[in-house]
Copies of this chain bind each other. A is one copy, B any other.
Amino acid sequence: MAAATRLFAERGYDRTSVQEIVEASGVTKGALYHYFGSKDDLLHEIYGRLLRLQQDRLDTFACADAPVEQRLRDAAADVVVTTIDNLDDAMIFFRSMHQLSPEKQKQVRTERRRYHERFRALVEEGQQHGVFSTATPADLVVDYHFGSVHHLGSWYRPDGPLTPQEVADHLADLLLRALRP
């Protein structure tokens, strides 16, 4: 999975052959297919790993004992940090999701929606308590933020001027500022 992750991130899912994966990981094709039913499966497992991680962390932050502004800020920043920390997985996720088989795609989308909705609930909570502006529908706000998260792979470089935490703080700050009443 590590080899596959690296290769998928490097050249894309379709451009990576099973042959290359087994060569990079030092196993045989037979062994790979003994554990993964298909190339698709491999991709799906990579997704699952990241999805579960982020879902768990979001749950933790959302349920924390703190004002909603703080919880949203923490969650918004955390998704940025974990995305950067797993940038390979994340890029594969965002780019290759639509290359999964239809049924697997549906499954992923369902899980993704759960994540989106948990996040949206935080925004709505703040809007109901009057600490966030209601000028923009909560759904749109969430997509706005997630857009910037998906986009990280396009510009973030580990050797750039900002640490992951700094980027995260900036992006969370932008979100919170945009939500000021």
Contacts and interface: CB of A to CB of B under 8 A. Distances in A.
Interface of A: 12, 14-15, 95, 98-99, 133, 135-137, 140-141, 143-144, 146-152, 154-155, 162, 167, 170-171, 173-175, 177-180
Given A95-B95, A147-B148, A151-B143, A173 B136 contact: yes
A147 B167 CA distance: 14
Contacts of A95: 95, 98
18 contacts: A12-B14, A12-B98, A12-B99, A15-B99, A135-B177, A136-B170, A136-B174, A140-B171, A141-B174, A143-B148, A146-B151, A147-B147, A147-B149, A147-B152, A150-B150, A150-B154, A151-B151, A177-B179
Nearest to A142: B155
A97 to B, nearest CB: 9
Name the 10 nearest CB pairs between A and B, nearest first. A147-B151, A147-B148, A14-B14, A178-B178, A147-B147, A174-B178, A144-B148, A177-B178, A136-B170, A140-B170
Contact of A180 (B98, B141, B155, B177): B177
Chain A residues touching B, majority SS: helix
Nearest to A156: B143
A174 B139 CA distance: 13
Interface-central residue, A15, A162, A171, A177, by most chain B CB under 10 Å: A177
Nearest to A143: B155
Given A12-B14, A14-B15, A150-B150, A174 B98 contact: no
Contacts of A150: 147, 150-151, 154
Interface-central residue, A133, A140, A150, by most chain B CB under 10 Å: A140
A135 B173 contact: yes
